[in-house]
């Protein structure tokens, strides 16, 4: 690789890293709370699961929740109910839902 190409590549990588360090735009937790009503049957009203085969959503990282919802929506992740639930979600819906469930704080305590 010639020096000018290395310089341009280095500058591009520096710019990309700078962009990646920017905070994610704030999402609408209230819109997410309203959308999450449909999730409450299995995942509970505050994201604490009421079904043995449904995971807790409260306190999960937003990036994880969004990735899973997109995977259900695309069919990359399979689940009969979640495929139907996620199919109609827009990217904004997913971001808002992730913001809502991430905003719920949970506390873990060791056994006594």
pLDDT at 29 exceeding the cut of 80 = yes
Residue 23: pLDDT band (50, 70, 90) is very low
How deeply is 77 buried, as exposed, middle or buried, from its count of CB atoms within 10 A (0-12, 13-18, 19+)? Answer: middle
Give the domain extent around 50: 26-103
Q: Examine residue 12 and state whether it is found in any structural domain, yes or no.
A: no
DSSP notation for 46-93: TS--SSTTS---TT--HHHHHHHHHHHHHTSS--HHHHHHHHT--HHH
Model pTM? 0.74
Contact 96, 27 (CB under 8 A): yes
Tens of pLDDT, residue by residue over 37-80, are: 999 999 999 999 989 999 999 999 999 999 999 999 999 999 99
Residue 19: per-residue pLDDT: 46
Q: Which residue did the predictor score with more confidence, 54 or 3?
A: 54
Residue indicated by tokens 């994880």? 64
* pLDDT for position 87: 97
Q: Assess if residue 90 is contained within a domain.
A: yes
In a domain, 110, yes or no: no
């Amino acid at each position: 690789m010639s020096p000018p190409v290395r310089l341009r590549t280095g500058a591009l990588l520096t710019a990309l890293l700078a962009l990646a360090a920017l905070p994610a735009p704030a999402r609408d937790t209230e819109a997410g709370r309203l959308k999450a009503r449909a999730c409450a049957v299995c995942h509970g009203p505050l994201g604490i699961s009421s079904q043995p085969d449904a995971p807790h959503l409260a306190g999960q990282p937003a990036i994880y929740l969004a990735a899973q919802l997109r995977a259900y929506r695309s069919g990359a992740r399979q689940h009969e109910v979640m495929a139907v639930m996620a199919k109609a979600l827009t990217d904004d819906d997913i971001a808002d839902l992730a913001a809502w469930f991430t905003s719920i704080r949970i506390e873990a305590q060791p056994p006594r």
